[in-house]
């Protein structure tokens, strides 16, 4: 991080909504691209434990998109990320998660904590004057949340927009409207939006969204927010010095937090990437391998046929070198994966057990792992269930209730779990994962 000696002011805006599915990601991406076209350096953040929206937002802004969450990342971690962005950028945009007040902690909690004004995006299709009531509720539900204004999305006509604006209560800023347009909406599936690399015309969609926003008041540069720099911290120990960590990265294994990769490098690791989908081999000199989550269920037949990649991973595990797998990465290690249509496909057979996909999600929420090095935070969100004879080495706990969460399995040199960990929450825990030592 560059040195920061005092408070840093930067225009900043928090894009939220009354619920999921209102168009937050599309419009945040369009707004980022619009300001980028004007020559602004834009940094975008995503609230909560999301992998898919940040891919779209990074493509739009031209910079990595970090997660902000008062529980998973922590207040100090959020403050450091925002201060660094204020030090480097001309504009900060934060996309919320779900509705403004949903979750504990919520988007509203984050906006209030750092004083970032909220622009509410409301899908106005199928409503008229009720739009104003929803806007009023969002603006006044909590006095500590700074409210910037409201934008109507998916508006049917100029007359519809007029009715919406006329129904707005006095004292609320109307930020304009955007018409319904399938040409910039983003496709989705069971875990959320499609990955950026899978949307062939993504640039055209983002540009069209930017054009739609250009003449709205939302396009104006928002007020400057002052971000306090974090307290000075000692440099991280180089616990992974000299370690080469090979990371699977392709359409099947893509759920990667940029902050996790940055931490591994800060701990001294050298990173390289390979694609099991392209039948690339894990490097023979790798000290450890990381298989992140993603969509192995969409590519099961290809993965099963790619023998070179499979052989390299088997050789790595048989050599007793650490192999860390999360969610989809864990499914790839099992004996077999069965999709919702009943097709059973053999996987690597490095971890005893089978997985079966289902139509409804099996687990969702923030979780923590408590071990020898303290607490590691993260989250879980998956549509599959695993059956294995292995006993958990550790068991995660739900963030709010403390109830049992995901199992963490250790089998030889393999560490596998459904939980997606946020490694900067506990660098010592992360280093132990890639040394294969006690957790």
Residues belonging to the active site: 327
Choose among 255, 250, 256: nearest CA to 279.
250
Bridge partners (DSSP) listed for residue 288: 245
Q: What is the CA radius of gyration of the chain?
A: 22
98-124: burial string, b at 16+ Cβ within 10 Å, e else: bbbbbbebbbbbbbbebebbbbbbbbb
Question: Around Cβ 146, how many Cβ atoms within 10 Å?
Answer: 15
Tokens of 4: 């920061």
Q: What is the three-class DSSP state of 273?
A: strand
Q: Where are the beta strands (DSSP E) in 52-197?
A: 66-68, 91-95, 118-123, 147-155, 174-179, 188-189, 192-193
**Cβ pair 49, 69 in contact under 8 A:** yes
d(CA 170, CA 177): 18
Tokens of 432: 């132990």
DSSP 90: S
Tokens of 408: 């963490």
DSSP 81: H
Tokens of 321: 């070198």
Bridge partners (DSSP) listed for residue 289: 246, 323
**Cβ pair 212, 184 in contact under 8 A:** yes
DSSP 402: -
Which residues, in sequence order, are CB contacts of 229 under 8 Å at separation 6+? 4, 5, 6, 7, 8, 80, 83
């Amino acid at each position: 991080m560059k040195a920061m000696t005092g408070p840093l002011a930067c225009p900043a805006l928090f894009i939220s909504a009354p619920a999921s599915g209102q168009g937050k990601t599309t419009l945040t991406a369009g707004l980022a691209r619009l300001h980028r076209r004007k020559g602004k350096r834009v940094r975008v953040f995503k609230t909560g434990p999301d992998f898919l929206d940040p891919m779209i937002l990074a493509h739009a802004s031209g910079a990595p998109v970090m997660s902000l969450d008062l529980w998973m990342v922590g207040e100090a971690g959020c403050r450091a990320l925002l201060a660094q962005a204020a030090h480097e950028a001309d504009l900060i945009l934060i996309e919320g998660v779900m509705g403004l007040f949903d979750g504990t902690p919520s988007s509203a909690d984050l906006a209030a904590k750092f004083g970032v004004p909220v622009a509410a995006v409301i899908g106005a299709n199928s409503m008229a004057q009720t739009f104003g009531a929803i806007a009023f509720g969002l603006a006044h539900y909590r006095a500590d949340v700074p409210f910037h204004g409201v934008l109507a999305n998916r508006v049917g006509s100029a007359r519809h927009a007029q009715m919406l604006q006329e129904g707005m209560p006095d004292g609320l800023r109307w930020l304009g409207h955007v018409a319904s347009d399938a040409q910039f909406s983003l496709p989705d599936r069971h875990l959320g939006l499609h990955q950026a690399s899978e949307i062939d015309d993504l640039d055209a969609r983002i540009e069209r969204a930017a054009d739609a926003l250009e003449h709205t008041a939302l396009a104006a540069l928002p007020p400057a927010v002052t971000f306090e720099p974090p307290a000075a911290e000692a440099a991280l120990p180089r616990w992974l010095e000299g370690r080469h960590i090979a990371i699977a990265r392709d359409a099947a294994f893509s759920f990667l937090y940029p902050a996790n990769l940055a931490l591994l490098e800060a701990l001294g690791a050298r990173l390289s990437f390979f694609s099991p989908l392209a039948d690339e081999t894990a490097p023979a000199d790798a000290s450890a391998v990381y298989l992140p989550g993603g969509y192995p269920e969409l590519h099961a037949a290809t993965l099963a046929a790619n023998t070179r990649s499979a052989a390299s991973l088997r050789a790595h595990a048989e050599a007793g070198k650490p192999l860390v797998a999360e969610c989809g990465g864990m499914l790839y290690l099992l004996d077999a994966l069965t999709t919702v249509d009943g097709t059973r496909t053999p996987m690597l057979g490095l971890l005893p057990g089978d997985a079966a996909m289902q139509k409804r999600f099996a687990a969702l929420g923030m979780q923590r792992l408590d071990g020898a090095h303290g607490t590691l935070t993260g989250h879980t969100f998956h549509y599959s269930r695993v059956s294995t004879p292995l006993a958990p080495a550790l068991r995660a706990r739900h963030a709010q209730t403390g109830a049992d969460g995901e199992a963490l399995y250790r089998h030889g040199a393999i560490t596998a779990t459904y939980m997606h960990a946020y490694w900067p929450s506990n660098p010592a825990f992360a280093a132990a994962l890639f040394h294969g030592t006690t957790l």
